[in-house]
Amino acid sequence: MTDLSTVKRGAALLNDPELNKGTAFTEAERTALGLRGLLPPRVMTQEEQLERILPGVRSRPTPIDQYAYLVGLHDRNVTLFYRLVMDHLEEMMPILYTPTVGQACQEFGRIFRRSRGLYVTSDDRGRVREVLANWPHDDVRMIVVTDGERILGLGDLGANGMGIPIGKLTLYTACAGLHPMQCLPITIDVGTDNTHLRESPAYMGLRQPRLRGAAYDALLDEFVEAVQERFPHVCLQFEDFGNHNAFTLLEKWRNRISTFNDDIQGTASVTLAGLYSASRISGTAFKDMRLLFLGAGEAGIGIGDLVVSAMVEEGVSLDEARQRCWFVDSKGLVVKTRTDLASHKKPYAHDYPATESLLEAVEALKPHAIIGVSGMPGTFTAPVLAAMARQHARPIVMALSNPTSKAECTAREAYASTDGRAIFASGSPFAPVTHKGRTHVPGQGNNAYIFPGVGLGVIVADASRVTDEMFAAAARTLANMVSEDDLAMGRIFPSLSRIRDVSKAIATEVAEIAYRRGLARAPRPGNLEAAVAAAMYQPEYPTFVN
């Protein structure tokens, strides 16, 4: 029973979404806490509340309306929100994250009702510590931060990008059980180069071009240092930064603090898991695969780097492993003769004739897998897919760009153009496809299979660093949880209904690495798996009065 002298009363309690139970307050609680008359008289169980709420979600006419309804529920009752999401995760994930979250960011000003998280702006130079001090919770363990420059495949959305940290942290709780009060979404608003947004009356961010250069770098340095002081046990996840800043920030801080970039490392991990699983269907050993990427930004290079590390682990030399990874960017095949290559592309610039189109590259290189991380919809054309099918009995096609409108091809297009032989995965969900009497269940290469479990493991061990070894272990763990029944359906990832089990297994492996490598600051528990399970939040109402 809670000490009632420390608890809010009456309307103040009902207006606190972290403590509010709504109609689930008991008769005794209503009397003791000054709630009598402020609620309808019927006392409901959480299960009865769900029976009332769920039809309300389903009755909304569009996914964005469902998203707004769920945001409203979160603003009223955090515990009930997470109970609903956890109990109906497969149904709720596409609403709360990919693909609906992209539209939610675009329409952020319209659907904004109540502030969540923190905004640090370029006007806060010199006082970032004061801004962070305003956050009411001290034991923050996971921060997701964006500057909104490269939101999914939608580009620069400025302060509207706050929908991404909010969505990511929702999945941390729903998929891996991080406590909601230990999660903090942050947007660093340095302006936007999206003139349409700057001129929109609904836009709530700074109406200025993006801050860049030394002033930007100084603000980010101040921010990272202030975060370490305010929340000494936090893991800082960078999300949806532009390519240059994403690579720069990761390289600057990865060996100094507990941090990672999900666009680079999480995407790499889930893709590597998919390749492990696809090899079980195709019969081609992972270490022997030749991969062709469309897109050479943070996601593509991140995948390439982790693939190379994994191949080296299997006995392939570093040079040979890099020779297995080829990239096509906006100017064609990445080759040594090009003089316009950014530094992160140069390790994958091979001694090979220049090729301008993806189709030419597929015809010449005969890759076992094409991996789309370009944000360019429709670029896996029918001729490209047909060429893949001519070269391999089971071609691997990964159209990973988000949201759905940015996918390189649809599941139906992949199966139709390969006579149903493609091993297909996508970033956004696609419905099952029946081709010539056989139903294929597309796999979704969703980072939610990876980052929640990694984060949970880091928190349990209080790891001082987040390493590529942890993401490689996460990929192997995820791939090992793909069943033969999954593969028979063409699905190279397990059902989302199993994601909390996946997260628990990944967290255990990540924490084990932290202890083995001397990165853990928390004492090692006697049973690590049990400690991980015990750390997973369950959305249960507190009891104020017996």
Cα distance between residue 13 and residue 538, in whole Å:
21
Residue 168 a catalytic site member:
yes
Cα distance between residue 125 and residue 119, in whole Å:
13
Cα distance between residue 444 and residue 496, in whole Å:
9
Do β-strands 369-372 and 291-294 pair in parallel, antiparallel, or remain unpaired?
Answer: parallel
Do β-strands 183-189 and 118-121 pair in parallel, antiparallel, or remain unpaired?
Answer: parallel
Cα distance between residue 141 and residue 137, in whole Å:
10
Considering the candidates 21, 67, 82, 168, report the single residue annotated as catalytic.
168
Q: State whether residue 73 is helix, strand or coil.
A: helix
What do you get for the CA distance between the two ends of the chain, in Å? 6
**Which residue(s) pair with 302 in the sheet?**
none
Comparing CA positions, the residue from 410, 412, 394 lying closest to residue 492 is 394
Query: Residue 222 is encoded by which pair of tokens?
Result: 């101040």
The residue written with tokens 């081709």 in the block is 435
Cα distance between residue 405 and residue 266, in whole Å:
21
Considering the candidates 97, 276, 449, 541, report the single residue annotated as catalytic.
97
The answer to whether the CB of 282 falls within 8 A of the CB of 323 is no
Query: Residue 55 is encoded by which pair of tokens?
Result: 């039809």
Residue 97 a catalytic site member:
yes
The answer to whether the CB of 422 falls within 8 A of the CB of 253 is no
The answer to whether the CB of 99 falls within 8 A of the CB of 410 is no
The answer to whether the CB of 445 falls within 8 A of the CB of 425 is yes
Cα distance between residue 89 and residue 415, in whole Å:
27
Query: Residue 430 is encoded by which pair of tokens?
Result: 């696609």
Q: Which residues are catalytically annotated?
A: 97, 168
